Each structure stands twice: as C-alpha cells, then as structure tokens.
A and B are shown apart, each in its own frame.
Chain A
Amino acid sequence: MPLDPAFIGRSYPPSQPYDVSREKIREFADAIGATSPAYRDADAAKALGHGDVIAPPTFAIVVSMKTNETVMFDPELELDYSRVVHGDQNFTHHRPITAGDQLVSTTHIDAITSRMGNDMVTVRTEISTVGGEPVTTAKSMLVVRGEDA
C-alpha cells in the first residue's frame, strides 16, 4: 500500500539529548579507519580551532538514525521497515559535532513520492545543541520497496 502523502510536513518531537563523548568519536573513527588527529587528540583539534575532538563527517548518522526510527516505527505511517533501503544521504554541518556537545534532534518528513511501485520518503533531521545552536542538518531518502518491485 502506498504511503499517505498527508504525512508530508509532519514533524516529530525533539529527541532526548545525545551526549557526544571523545570515546564514541574515537570508536567511530576506528571503525571507518580514519586516522585524523582531530578525531582523537584534543590538542590537535584545538590547534585547528575546534573546542575539543571533532567527529567524522558521517558521525551524525548515529544521532539522526535514532530519531529516524521514530518515523520508521510511527504506527500511523504504516511503513514496512523490512522493505526499507537507504537511497541517499546528505549532511550539512553548520559546525563540526564536537566532544562534549549535548545534541537534540527534530525530524521532519519533507517529501513522500511514489515511482514504479516504490515509495520514497525524504526525512530531514535538524540536530542542534540543547541550547538551540544549529549543528547539523541530516537528510535521508529512504526507499520503501513495493511488494512487486
């Protein structure tokens, strides 16, 4: 069954704060094989003008995926999670995610389209500090494969 376009424009309430730690950043950097000192060494990061170690450009997915799940598991949307494929991803960093940040994210459904039996859902997650400073805008396009696709 196609997704209901009436959900376009729907927003989900802000998440619980996510505490960004040096350890989680290092763990993520290790997992992607990234060697930049700015991910691991606070002094090196400070020498580049950052307040503490910063996160790799795709780290925001750890924060945004949690809130995307509130969309995917919204019972009213009736989205079949087992058919979801990640179509595209974009991060706009207003500033780098930095160790010590307390981040909250708010998710919006920007678009729902259908093509050749598949539904495409564009989800935008606005990540900011608990103080309201914008940090990252993460956009994901999720493809919900149709029964026959």
Chain B
Amino acid sequence: MSAAVSTEVGTELPALSVRLKRDDLVRYAGASLDFNPIHWNERTAREVGLPDVIAHGMLTMAVASRIVAEWIGDPGAIVEYGCRFGRPVVVPDDGEGALVEVTAKVTKAFDDGTVKVNINAAFDGKSVLTGAFARVRVS
C-alpha cells in the first residue's frame, strides 16, 4: 500500500495526457487480441458510418486507469473499475493522432477502507468515458 499520497475526499490526482496514434491502436489490438478492423482500417470504419478509425474503448479505459495506478503506486489496490463508453476517440493517420486528457478526484470514502475515485477522460474537449470510476483500497 502506498501511504505517500493523500487519499482524502476532494483530493485531485495528478493529471495525465496520453496521445494515441495509429501504431498505438495496432499495438493494443495485438496485446488485447481485439482485431476489430474499425480500430485500424479506415475503409471498414467509414463503411460502418464512423468518420475515421477509432480507438478501442477498452484502450481508452486502460489508458485512463493509469491515472489511478500511477497515483496510488500499487495498481493491485484498484479493486473495482468501471465506465460506460460514451463517445469514440477518433484517431486520424496524420502523425498527431488523438490527445486523451485524463483527470480524477477522490469523491467518497467507504467503511471498508476503500475510496471512490471519479475519472474523466476527454478528447476534443468532450468526455469520452461516462461515469468512469475506480474503487481503491487505501487502508
């Protein structure tokens, strides 16, 4: 357990910015075994009505988990993690990709020694994960 950080309700976690490019999507496809072509093939993405290739929702969710893991020190302290997938993160093939900006705040303390951390992940100024939260063991 990392006692080095404040886990009081109201604590804001150090913000995290992550740039996702096409090669990140390909790497995640390989690591997660999710080879849905909408995550790497523009033609398929456009055929199903998307503006371009989109990141795996699970990649955005995984990237957003880092804000909690890097803050608490022991990622094993994350006992629950959930979100809804609100909007896609569109990743153009322009060398710039998409910038996902993650912020988080401790919002609740429970009697069982865990706290609730609400997480926001934004792309293009809009939230992409809805109701994202982690429950973290702090004592």
Contact = CB atoms under 8 A, between A and B. Distances in A.
Contact of B70 (A36, A58, A61, A95): A36
A141 B70 CA distance: 28
Nearest to B16: A33
A77 interface: no
Nearest to A45: B76
Interface of B: 1, 18, 24, 27-28, 30-34, 57-59, 61-63, 65-66, 68-70, 73-76, 78-85, 134
Given A30-B31, A48-B74, 19 more contacts: A28-B32, A31-B27, A31-B28, A31-B31, A32-B31, A32-B59, A33-B18, A34-B65, A35-B70, A36-B75, A38-B74, A49-B1, A58-B58, A58-B61, A62-B31, A89-B57, A89-B82, A93-B78, A139-B82
Interface residues of A, number: 36
Interface of A: 24, 27-28, 30-36, 38-39, 48-50, 54, 56-58, 61-62, 65-66, 85-93, 95-96, 139, 141
Majority DSSP secondary structure for residues of B touching A? helix
B83 A89 contact: yes
A57 B69 contact: yes
Nearest to A50: B76
A139 B31 CA distance: 20
Contacts of A31: 24, 27-28, 30-32, 59
A101 to B, nearest CB: 13
B22 to A, nearest CB: 13
A77 to B, nearest CB: 19
